[in-house]
Amino acid sequence: MKILITGTNGFIGKNLVAELGNQKYNNIFEYAKETDASLLDEYCKEADFVFHLAGVNRPKDESEFMDGNYGFTSTLLETLEKHQNNCPVLITSSIQAELNNPYGASKKASEDLLFDYGNRTKAKILIYRLPNVFGKWCKPNYNSAVATFCHNVSHDLAINVNDPNVVMNLVYIDDVVEELIRALNGNPNLAGEFCEIPVVHTVKLGEIVDLIYSFKKSREDRSIPNMSDPFTKKLYSTYLSYLPEDQFSYELKMNIDQRGSFTEFIKNPDRGQVSVNISKPGITKGNHWHHTKNEKFLVASGIGVIRFRKIDSDEVIEYFVSGEKLEVVDIPTGYTHNIENLGDTDMVTIMWANEFFDPEKPDTFYLEV
């Protein structure tokens, strides 16, 4: 299948081209502002499907809305019709097509042009009136509040929120691309004469800003956002794509003593805490037990032994562990336990606990194994 995509240097275009490549669609005609205009004729002659994503949404003069949106749409359709190519044409319009403003008027005019073309040629027409789209590769400080907020917060720049109670309808770029490819394969999400993206997130602007600031703070408190919430998960992925390239990494606080070190990595109130424990050769750590707090140990490097003793028993149970054979050892409640480095190099253990350490209620009681 030969696919013509206009606007391939734009936000949606870049993401669509990337995913089509992932799915092994190899015959893609990419058309952008910088493309030799003469190629449009060749592409329109050969195309089996057209994604019309090109458009103008932030011109220097309002007259450019009609020229860039309606005008180029007209040129595209005329070229297809010249070659009697009645392949399906999909266009990304905007919910502003319902509004009385220059941008909305240009989108509505383009839609009407498409419907007329479809009625005349019997070509299949697919129109998506998109709300605000967010995700990676969207240009900040342009026409996306989410992109601007993610960029500015990650770069320690100020943001301006006039009304935090404004409700936004948002669609995520991956959901958009997934739906566009479904349409390519003949299975669009139809809603009357238009098509729709199935997943729309309705969120207040203030809530979005609070989440983005919490993402920035999560590096300091080693927390992980609530990935069970679909919008939070998508917004966090978006935020990370705007990190300055010299700030992908961040330091953790290592608690170091003569025995080695203990470093908190990540924590989540619902999923517990992950830490990295480094033990020097011959060192034993632990010798305590818990009522309810439970843990999992994974020795990633080195060799050692994890010992257990039920607090009302004299029997000692031993589990020998090694980075050569990765296995998780559960630390049951009611058993005092320790871990000893039996090797001659540092032993690295990944430790998970079901809850944060609370100094007011540590649930940790010293008792030699």
The three-state secondary structure class of 69 is: helix
**Type of residue at 223:** S
Candidates 194, 175, 187, 197; CA nearest to 112 is: 194
Label residue 327 left, alpha or beta by phi (over 0 means left) and psi (-120 to 50 means alpha).
Answer: beta
190 has which bridge partners?
195
User: From CA 107, how far away is CA 93, in angstroms rounded?
Assistant: 6
Count the alpha carbons within 13 Å of 248 in the hemisphere toward its beta carbon: 3
Tokens of 347: 């032993």
281 touches 344 (CB < 8 A)? yes
- Please say whether the dihedral angle defined by the alpha carbons of residues 228, 231, 237 and 239, taken in this order, is positive or negative: negative
User: From CA 342, how far away is CA 305, in angstroms rounded?
Assistant: 7
Residues in the chain: 369
User: From CA 290, how far away is CA 335, in angstroms rounded?
Assistant: 7
Label residue 38 left, alpha or beta by phi (over 0 means left) and psi (-120 to 50 means alpha).
Answer: alpha
Helix 173-184 and helix 11-22: axis angle, to 10°? 60
What is the greatest pairwise CA distance in the chain? 91
User: From CA 326, how far away is CA 341, in angstroms rounded?
Assistant: 16
Residue tagged active-site, from 43, 103, 117, 172 = 103
- Let me know if 103 is a catalytic residue: yes
Label residue 47 left, alpha or beta by phi (over 0 means left) and psi (-120 to 50 means alpha).
Answer: beta
The residues that are catalytic are: 103
